A and B are shown apart, each in its own frame.
Chain A
Amino acid sequence: MKRNILSIFAIGAVLFSSCVKQLDVPQKGVIGQDEFYLTTEDALQARTAMYEAFVKNLTGIYDSGESAIYTAFPLMLNEAADDVIAAGEFYGDNDFGAAINEFRYDTNNQVINQVYKRLYELAYKANLVIDNFSKSDDTAAQQYVAEARAMRAFCHFYLAVLWGTPPQVDHVLTPTERAPQLESQEALLKWVAEEAKDAATKCPDKVDANSAAIMTKWAAYAIAGKAFIQMHDYKSAAECFKAIIDSKKYELVAGDKWETMFHANGKDNKEFILQPGKAENTALGNWSGPIQRGEWMMTQFWNWRTDHLASWPNIQGIDGWGGGAIRGSFAEDWDEYEHDSYRRKGTFFTPDEWIHEAGWKDQSGDEVRGERCDTSVFVGISGGTKGAAYLYGQDRYMYRKLIAWKEDVPKGNWGFRATILCRYADVLLLYAECAANGAGDAALGKQYLNDVQKRANAPVTDLSIDNVKRERQYEFWGEGLRWIDMCRYKEFDGVKDNGKTVPVTYDAFWTKGESTHRLYSEPSTPNSGTVGFQAGKHELFPIPYCETSLNPDIKQNPGW
């Protein structure tokens, strides 16, 4: 009897321990964090994860779990500029962007929240590399740490310019830690500049066009220079820019190829300093990365609306929402100043050019060009199938720089266009700006200014602050640099009346029965509340709701 009881207990004990062991289900697809961040290979992987966040968060549509129907980062920077108008099918369409353009956004605005979160996620990935490998002796690891420091500085540059004094994250935070806010925007910019300049010494040199996909020495200097110049420290900024120019690693793309920089087949050039890498790879499933970083929503948002047009112009590869427009008065002045420049032609069509050269198609798909266009029924804003013979938000001049050509959308509605974060022309003009403000070498400043002008086939001028400002506006329209320049110059007059009237473009052939096509625009007044830039409030964006709802003690920006 006793033996039976004992054997029952023994069996019971064995069963119990084997059952308990079954509870240790191994986790698939992961390794413990204590097994990682040890070797050089681990450092390379961590660095690659940082670049993945780089391309996904700044040029893509997904971030940590939330998707969007736009690419937040370029959208926010472009909408706030004084030479862009928010457009769409009608008032209220694309309101997430229009709210920024018309300065009627609030802390809830999705775009602002997204950009904020995405920049911090990227800084976190950079901090993972820095915190784990800064003490390593391995040269490769040290290079990666330097790249990560430059990346972190890059994030904080935008955080500082857009939000003033948002939290500064200089290490991986523990869950209960609160990152500090520095005492001023200048203090944060100073930190950015010094970090980037210091990191530049260990960042890799440029090897070929692919180097633009990583933080090279020169990209780090560019970030440092931009931070210095934003604080108006022209001397330090000039030094940084000169270092890049003196390296002779970069060249301006030829003028007649200027436009190719903004399309898929123009990435292999010597002008790009920083541009995240994305290319076709048929072994990857579409939704496992390519679509998320493949320009899908960038294309949809910025392409012209073809559903209001008489036919689909051949120049554009796919339909779009017509989310933005170039400001008419600005385009008019530009056209008058340098009608024949490569960059003018590559940035927008004059109404005349649009009617004759956009590549309208007749019923059998053949192109209608030249004089035939004047009276053709396949041209212009006929209303399409929507019966809506207008383009809301457009002001007669249709931009060309931001639309996707057929080669840009090989996958139907997405592809692999470049999102340029920094190019050589920017460095040359910023040096010129420093020189015009008394730092650096005035003669060199004028030379670099003229280099950019000659390349663009634009009039060559003397070195002056106003000339540089104008040059920057023409060279970089739609590239997300204008708002930063406006903040630096403190010139916000151009946006004081944003939203008070919104232009709507019509085609007299269709609306007035005229014999030839003629674009004209009329202002509409759709906004009944307060709109337009308000001094004392809109110089900085408000700390968004995703932060204030969790951290009510944070110091909010003035006016909010």
Chain B
Amino acid sequence: MIINNSGAPGQGATIRVRGVSSNGSAGLSPLLIVDGLKVDNIQYLDPSLIESMEVLKDAASAAIYGAEAGNGVVLITTKKGSEGHASISYTLKMTNQRILNTNSRMNAEEYYKFHEMQGNLSASMEDAYQKGINTNWINEVFEPSWAQQHIITAQGGNNKGHFLLNFGYVNNDGIVKGQNDTYERITGQINADYNIFKWLQVGTSASLEKWKTKSVSQQAAFSSFMNASLQLDPLTPVYCEFNELPVATQQVLSEHPEAAMKGANGRYYATTANYNDNNGNPLAQRDRSTGVSEGFNVRGNVYLNLKPVKGLVLTSRFGFRLNQSNSHNYQTPFYITSFANSKNYSLSANNNTGFYYQWENFINYTLDKNNHNFNIMGGMSFIKNSWDNISTSASSKSEWLPILKGEGPNFQTMDYVIADNATKSIGNTPNYSANLSFFARASYSYGGRYSVQANFRADAFDASKLSNKNRWGFFPSVSAGWTISNESWVKDNVSPAALTFLKIRLSWGLNGNVAVLSGYPWRNTIAYQGVYYQYGAATGDGSTTFGSAPSGLANPDLRWETSDQWDVGLDAKFLNGRLSFGFDWYRKMTKDLLVEVNNLPALGVAKSYKNAGNVLNTGVEVELGWKDTVGDFSYSISGNFSYLQNKVTYLDSSVGRIEAAQGGDSANNLNHIRKAFEVGYPVWYFRGYEYAGHTDAGEALYYNADGDKVSASDLRGGDDERYLGSAIPSFTYGVTINLEWKGIDFTLFGTGVAGNKLFDATNRDQANINQYKWYYYNSWTPTNKTAYLPDPANVSGDNNVFYSSSACMFDGSYFKIKQIQLGYTLPRQWTKKALISQLRVFASLDDFVTFTKYPGLDPETATMSQAERQGFDIGTYPITQKIVFGLNLTF
């Protein structure tokens, strides 16, 4: 399942395979391997370069990839260059992106009437409404934009070697109005291999990527630009005159006009008069985010295959990733409101470099005799990742003090900072991590019918994760398969026209995970001189004396999180291969789950890590497909469907229930909804008050622990909260339809999820922020007494109860038609005349249609990336709808 966590340009997608079995975002993603090299993300990879993509879900096949494969493995192989003829191809893609759903929040009339219902209509709201102000902030801030992508590939090969060269360019102007949201990337790929001798093959594949991005902030609830666009009320105009600004702002600007934020039209950015907005105005925030980041990455590997005797291959492979990035930012003072302001100049410059390499050596021996096929493989792999960084910043020593020697971008670097005016801070700590593994595999198959395979793997990670004595993890796995359709008694009696292929598989494997650990949690350490106190403060002496205290509560018994997984599957093809069917049942039990638990307050240390729980993920996956050709027309329809059940089965007795992520984000959010981890429930379920409707007079009611319906003031606190739902979908499904007729091809691809819940975690410490329209249309009024929600006047400002209850929780199910593509390949006869061997043009609508009941912008992105924060909608960049036009030329 691919979760697009953010639609911002350049942000990659997150992939989840088979549910959530571990914590933290580090622990959730499957392992991504491109040409044998473990990579951090695949955004740099152009899909046209992918030869094949295989997803390994069950333990046995993933086992060979080691510890990080606990959440599945995605194996990607890039094209190597086709044998026989060389070719050059060019692809052009123009994408127009936009947000379709711009009306999820209330407009001026709805907002005005809603506040009337709440009973807190203010004079300024009345005033603005009479003037007819009706600002749709989403439309003011976002606009459709174009992105373009060019790719050129040259490839060729013969029986001795192959090569592939690829060059690409992407320019994506994000959907935020203006130039502060952009992404530019140049990529290159070189794949080559050659048989120097019959017994020696060398090869390499390397990809180069240079990127540059400017992006606005997102996903941090409090100071998020996206949030500002969602929360600002429609009764605030975008611009205003000086005397319409708040009094405090006018006073500050009359002394410091350099702090004024004005739009391109010369007018001041207005801010809401109805509450204290932390951002002031999203367009002002956009203007302020001028930071630029750029960098380059080189990913590749070199390998050597030795074939001294028949059947024996010795491989040595060295994979590497080099990355380097810089970011620069300069901020000047600004003043919009007493909350949204900064009176300091600040400059920052950061540089990060990293070098990752993995060195693998293995031996592979295959023996084919009579009908027996026998293969053994054994090897080792060593991975080391080292990084270094410098982060610097300079900021004004006192208010309004400029820190640069001159005006303009030519002076905005650290060399031109006036030392006396700025406080500089510098950070740097290089470090590295390493891991070592050994693995072996033996497999045997007979007659193309029976196959059996056993794997074994030993992994050790470095000291920052586990102590020396718990370092090694051992992971065996076995699998067996029976291809029934190749049995003679089947072949003789059943024709392929009925049953073409039938195979049953069974596997069991053990896998481990330590990804959530870091920072030596097993070690008793002192953060030496990490804190300070000023003993002489009363007489004005600010000098510091350093103190040291333990860095946390150590747990020397920390060990690997292990999961064992059973998988039973069936693959079948019928009717000459036209009908295909696949079925999988799996059961994955994760033990010794690494959890960060809250400690008892008396302990004095807030949290510590423990191997404290067991989680069970079981599910079923079904795939069904039909493809056929009728004359010139060929078509295929395939669908997949999976059902997942997720439950915590055991939690250490010292930990009754673990709670996290109150309010969705940090403790700044004032409602009490939170995620909990408890035996018998899905992982990180929503815990809060359950809304029980309202009385006839519109007063809200909630269920208490005894199941009675009571009003908010009779609730006792945490004990009356209960399970409200899970953010993990139970059902995931997808459908793909392909049609082809005489050069015209059509594809439709859709995916959906069901069974998950989303919580509207808009930060409501202010009563007048804008809300989803849904609240207005579904609230009790004297003329509409059967509405779902209670009287707004009864619950206005009630963060403690109403906004911590299931009344703000929604069904997160959706079905999205992710792609509708229509393409046409010009007939060869025509294009051959221009020396073009193939020309295809296509148009596609991506992410265009969403079927959902969720009132927010996009149910797919209405979440946060860590496992314990999934399902909270705090205002993330929505997935844009895209219209793509493209052209593909092959010479």
Contact surface of A with B, Cβ cutoff 8 Å: 19-20, 22-36, 42, 44-55, 63-69, 89-93, 95-96, 99, 104, 106-108, 110, 116-117, 120-121, 123-125, 127-128, 167, 169, 172-173, 175-176, 178-179, 208-210, 212-214, 267-268, 272, 275, 277-286, 288-289, 306-307, 309-312, 318-319, 361, 365, 383-389, 410-412, 416, 528-530, 542, 545-552, 560
Contact = CB atoms under 8 A, between A and B. Distances in A.
Contacts of A19: 382, 434, 436
A14 B783 CA distance: 84
Contacts of B712: 529
A106 B800 CA distance: 10
Contact of B432 (A25, A30, A32, A286): A25
B542 interface: yes
A99 B801 CA distance: 13
B123 A64 contact: no
A46 B534 contact: no
B537 A267 contact: yes
Please classify how large the interface on chain B is, using the bins under 10, 10 to 19, 20 to 34, 35 or more: 35 or more
B533 A67 contact: no
Given A24-B463, A282-B423, A67 B544 contact: no
Q: Which 5 residue pairs across A and B have the least CB separation, nearest first? A: A124-B604, A529-B713, A92-B797, A48-B547, A387-B123
A23 B666 CA distance: 35
29 contacts: A19-B382, A22-B384, A22-B434, A30-B525, A33-B524, A42-B548, A45-B529, A49-B549, A50-B547, A92-B798, A106-B800, A120-B603, A121-B601, A167-B602, A172-B604, A173-B602, A173-B603, A175-B654, A178-B600, A210-B538, A213-B533, A277-B535, A279-B541, A289-B532, A311-B247, A385-B124, A387-B123, A387-B124, A546-B601
A549 B251 contact: no
A560 B462 CA distance: 49
Contacts of B800: 95, 99, 106, 108
A322 to B, nearest CB: 12
Interface string B344-361: 100000000000000000
B670 A96 contact: yes
A175 B555 contact: yes
A386 B127 CA distance: 11
Given A107-B718, A361-B251, A387-B123, A210 B713 contact: no
Among B537, B715, B766, the one with the most A-chain Cβ atoms within 10 Å of its Cβ is: B537
Contact of A169 (B471, B538, B544, B602): B602
Given A52-B531, A550-B655, A383 B123 contact: yes
Contact of A33 (B273, B525, B538): B525
B464 A27 contact: yes
Given A91-B797, A319-B338, A549-B659, A33 B550 contact: yes
A123 B600 CA distance: 13
Contact of B547 (A51, A107, A173): A51
Interface in B545-594: 545-551, 553-555
B547 A286 contact: no
Contacts of A31: 525-526, 528
B601 A547 contact: yes
Nearest to A275: B538
A117 to B, nearest CB: 5
Contacts of B122: 386-388
A67 B718 contact: no
A444 to B, nearest CB: 29
Contact of B654 (A90, A176, A389): A176
Contacts of A552: 656
Contacts of B423: 282-283, 285-286
A307 B247 contact: yes
Interface stretch (B286-294, B392-400, B875-883): B392-400
B247 A306 contact: yes
> What secondary structure prevails in chain A residues at the interface with B?
loop
A320 to B, nearest CB: 8
A46 B598 contact: no
Contacts of A549: 656-657, 659, 718
A46 B602 contact: no
Contact of A106 (B125, B525, B654, B716): B716
A49 B537 CA distance: 16
Contacts of A319: 248, 338
Contact of B534 (A93, A278, A283): A278
A534 B526 CA distance: 46
Given A51-B533, A92-B796, A365-B254, A24 B462 contact: yes
Given A106-B716, A108-B717, A386-B273, A34 B598 contact: no
Among B434, B553, B603, B717, the one with the most A-chain Cβ atoms within 10 Å of its Cβ is: B603
Given A31-B526, A48-B532, A210 B537 contact: yes
